Structure 1
């Protein structure tokens, strides 16, 4: 998390919204073999207190994660910021604008039925986003084949004890400077980040 409090989201629900919208995280934990990271789709509970995910049984984290503290990081759009975009380039340095949400907690292994429920939740959510009609469901699969595949993965649930979101979108600059940066970011092909910067400006203006 960035130490500057200007980059903390003002909206209480923004971090959870970003986790749900992005839906994919890097999971970090210490193991006897050293620090390891895995990458997985995630499901945030309705009350934003737990995060579920699953890993391949052969993943370097899987056999060490149950009962261990873990860190999940969801990353949003990011982009380089050229010092040339500031009004006074002589006193500016390049930087990076980005969105990231860190969640910390202890992980537990899911029971088989909980893992299947997680997989159903993931497919239901993302089939709807993909616009599939009718959507794919596991009912289309051979039951024995599904069982073999789920036997190759392990589900986990992390109870979130700490949230550390960073929304670094030039909030420490004035409105004109932020717009110059947003325009530069947009020119480099990072339209989503430029949109977020302008949305933040609109939200601040309405506050």
Structure 2
């Protein structure tokens, strides 16, 4: 991502929150001279204090990526939306833009054994079934033969870049105007982005008062 100090975050808690809220990720690697990308649900490894990810891939994605032999990039994308310059106060920028949040995590995957892979599959299912009216928990005995077609991964995050672009470079009136337009019904309604803009604004105010 293009670096912009106004939008960059080095706060690991911000990264954790973004990953937890947006667990559908893109896993990217370079193997045998080719770029490979796959899409999988990814969770934080809550059994460790270090920033690490857990997931699984279906075979033969493990071989396509050459997993376990080199670093991979895992990309998480938060809510995003178009911002029209007509929403700014008169005299402000005339350039249209896009508000978004994203985090890029780099690390070398650790291949999990059979039991740990099954643990990850059970946890992934439980994570997403918890809000279902009649949840279907994954039975380990039933899942064991299915799990043989997958490869479990734990990815310690060696480094990350995080960008939260929520109109931080705009004046307060323009920021509120953007929030109001993103909440209004219509083709550009993005209430989650409006929520994230308010969170970013509150965080800026808190940081400023602490200085």
Give the Cα–Cα distance (whole angstroms) in 2 for the partners of residues 61 and 88 of structure 1. Answer: 55
Aligned to 1:169: 166
Q: How does 1:137-156 map to 2 (within 5 A)?
A: 137-139=137-139, 143=141, 146-156=143-153
Work out whether residues 111 and 155 of structure 1, in 8 Å CA contact, stay in contact via their aligned partners in 2: yes
- SS, match of residue 4 in structure 1: coil
Give unpaired runs (5+ residues) of structure 2: none
| C-alpha contact 2:118 2:144 (8 A) present in aligned 1 | no
**In the alignment, is residue 182 of structure 1 matched against residue 179 of structure 2?**
yes
- Structure 1 runs of 4+ off > 4 angstroms? 60-63
Partner of 1:95: 97
2:78 to 76, 79, 100: 76
Residue in 2 aligned with 1:113?
Answer: 115
> Greater helix percent: which structure?
1
Residue in 1 that maps onto 2:198: 198
Query: Could you tell me the TM-score, scaled by structure 2's length?
Result: 0.86
Q: 2:69 aligns with which of 58, 67, 70?
A: 67
Distance 2:65 2:91 in 1: 51
Structure 1: state its 5+ residue gaps.
none
Aligned position for 2:30: 30
Q: 1:158 to 1:60 in 2, by over 3 A?
A: closer
Q: Secondary structure of 1:121's partner?
A: helix
* 8 A contact 2:10–2:161 mirrored in 1: no
Q: Give the length in aligned residue pairs.
A: 202
C-alpha deviation, 1:90, in angstroms: 7.1
1:4–1:149 Cα change, 3 Å: same
Matches of 1:27 and 1:138, distance apart in 2: 24
1:20: which partner in 2?
Answer: 20
Aligned-residue CA RMSD (Å)? 2.2
Q: Secondary structure at the match of 1:3?
A: coil
Alpha-carbon contact 1:25-1:74 (below 8 Å) kept: yes
